[in-house]
Amino acid sequence: MLRPLALTDMGAAAQVHRIAFDHAMPWLIGLHTPDEDRWFYRELVFPVCRVWGRFDGDQLCGIIAFRGGWIEQLYVRPAVHRRGIGTELLDAAKAANKRLELWTFQRNVSARRFYEARGFTLAEQTDGARNEENEPDARYVWPG
């Protein structure tokens, strides 16, 4: 089931984020604590983004947070990769926006392939000086 998430889902959303982030980018494991992740979602994501989640029964399997033509977060539990969950979440954001942009890390090759296969094109690459992780990143655009 795909549905908008409420603040009561914040802890589960933060957990999906951490599990998926650490799996995709093991060189950044330990960057934040679970308490910091929950704070981030409670204070910075839920107040300003539309946040949707994909559930399998009672378990939250994936999340997307978007606002103003930007995808801020998109994470799917690694155990359910390649089942269309990320595409379903991305389609929810596409349906609500005529154009979308997002940042992903250059080394996150699987994310880059995912977005490119769904119509996003590379618009810019940076050295990472403007992100918290100091990780070279790439901006993608979906023209709608």
Q: What is the full per-residue pLDDT of the chain (144 aa) written as tens digits?
A: 999 999 999 999 999 999 999 999 999 888 899 999 999 999 999 999 999 999 999 999 999 999 999 999 999 999 999 999 999 999 999 999 999 999 999 999 999 999 999 999 999 999 999 999 999 999 999 986
Domain CATH number, residue 102:
3.40.630.30
Q: Whole domain around residue 57: which residue ranges?
A: 2-142
Task: Show the tokens assigned to 76.
Answer: 């799917």
Q: Give the chain's domain count.
A: 1
Taking CA atoms, 20 is separated from 5, 28, 105, 143, in Å, by: 18, 12, 14, 27
Q: How far is residue 28's CA from residue 7's CA, in Å, rounded to a whole number? A: 27
* CA distance to 9, 64, 68, 102, 107, per residue, from 14 (Å): 9, 11, 21, 19, 22
pLDDT at position 144, please? 61
Residue 31: the pLDDT is: 83
